């Protein structure tokens, strides 16, 4: 009984297949399979990728982009503009503008990868400087593109410079300010060095930046100078003769005319623009002072 029922079921299946082939020709079944393949987002992404790389008609690329956006449940009733924003060997980024909707971003790759995003204002507006913009009329035909001749590009650049671009202007001003500051700093340093070498006072002559300078003062004289000076910080003193006394990392006491170079010596040990010790204001016994450099 069971075998007889199985035979009846198989006979009904065969009859149903025969009726299907009789009503729907084989060509229609094949067409339905192709239509399902065309609706696959991966296949549509490959079509867009190959169409852009092979310079297919813009209308064809626009149709595939519109279908791809709709496949991801975004609204795109009619695609009006698109722009190839970034093209890499295996990936392409496209900006697409649909009628009545903000810009969409579509990324397609050679392996079928696809991503659709935007529609909420997150994609920046179309800019002709980013790439070619293709526009379409209401009937879907190519209306215009953003190609410009060399003369038009030159005129547009001149107009943009004349009108002024805030970003470019700030960039140029900032770069100019940095260069001016560097040149000014170099000029001031060398001018101070030149004045030091050409100074009338003997103790200022022959002083070179970063050169070892023998200060003719003993430890007793330096102690007296520290007593007469005003303490500005833990290692920095200022003598009434407008000379700064700086104590280095190893306790060495040096003399400078500039607080900046004195601070530099304290922190980094750089003996730049060092000067001789000033004359003590009051010191009854000058036996400690000599023309020989002190060991300290």
Number of domains in the chain: 3
Same-domain status, 184 and 261 = yes
Q: Give a yes or no: residue 10 inside a domain.
A: yes
Same-domain status, 192 and 271 = yes
Nearest to 53 by CA among 89, 3, 77: 89
Same-domain status, 207 and 290 = yes
Residue 97: per-residue pLDDT: 92
pLDDT in tens, 201-249: 555 444 455 444 544 577 888 888 888 888 888 888 988 888 899 988 8
Per the listing, tokens 């070498």 go with 197
Same-domain status, 98 and 129 = yes
Residue 221's beta-bridge partner residues?
A: none
Q: How much is the pTM?
A: 0.41
Per the listing, tokens 């980013």 go with 130
Give the β-pairing of 274-275 and 133-136.
Answer: unpaired
pLDDT, mean of each 10-residue run, the chain (296 residues): 56 56 43 50 90 89 90 89 90 92 92 91 85 82 62 63 60 87 90 70 49 61 84 87 87 87 86 82 52 43
Same-domain status, 22 and 109 = no
Same-domain status, 209 and 263 = yes
Q: Give a yes or no: residue 154 inside a domain.
A: no
Same-domain status, 122 and 104 = yes
Same-domain status, 224 and 177 = yes
Range of the domain at 33: 2-37
Q: Give a yes or no: residue 155 inside a domain.
A: no
Same-domain status, 62 and 130 = yes
Q: Rounded to an integer, what distance in angstroms lies between the CA atom of residue 61 and that of residue 50?
A: 9
Same-domain status, 30 and 80 = no
Q: Give a yes or no: residue 164 inside a domain.
A: no
Q: Give a yes or no: residue 162 inside a domain.
A: no
């Amino acid at each position: 009984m069971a075998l007889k029922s199985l035979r009846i079921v198989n006979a009904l299946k065969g009859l149903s297949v025969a009726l299907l082939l009789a009503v729907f020709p084989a060509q229609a079944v094949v067409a339905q399979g192709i239509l399902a393949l065309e609706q696959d987002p991966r296949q549509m992404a490959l079509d867009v990728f190959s169409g852009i790389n092979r310079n297919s008609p813009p209308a064809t690329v626009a149709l595939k982009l519109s279908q791809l956006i709709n496949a991801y449940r975004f609204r795109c009733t009619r695609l009006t503009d698109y722009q190839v924003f970034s093209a890499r060997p295996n990936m392409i980024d496209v900006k697409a503008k649909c009628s009545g909707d903000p810009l969409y971003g579509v990324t397609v790759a050679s392996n079928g990868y696809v991503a659709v995003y935007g529609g909420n204002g997150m994609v920046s507006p179309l800019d002709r400087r980013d790439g070619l913009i293709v526009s379409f009329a209401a009937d879907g035909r190519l209306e215009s593109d953003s190609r410009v001749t060399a003369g038009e590009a030159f005129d547009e650049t001149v107009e943009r410079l004349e009108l002024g671009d805030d970003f470019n202007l700030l960039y140029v001003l900032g770069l100019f300010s940095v260069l001016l500051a560097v040149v000014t700093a170099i000029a001031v340093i060398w001018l101070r060095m030149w004045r030091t070498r050409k100074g009338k006072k003997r103790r200022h002559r022959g002083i070179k930046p970063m050169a070892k300078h023998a200060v003719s003062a003993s430890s007793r004289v330096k102690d007296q100078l520290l007593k007469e000076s005003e303490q500005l910080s833990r290692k920095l003193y200022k003598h009434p003769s407008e000379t700064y006394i700086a104590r280095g990392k190893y306790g060495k006491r040096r003399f400078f005319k500039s607080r900046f170079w004195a601070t530099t010596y304290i922190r980094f040990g750089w003996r730049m623009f060092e000067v001789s010790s000033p004359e003590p204001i009051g010191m009854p016994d000058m036996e400690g002072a000599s023309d020989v450099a002190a060991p300290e």
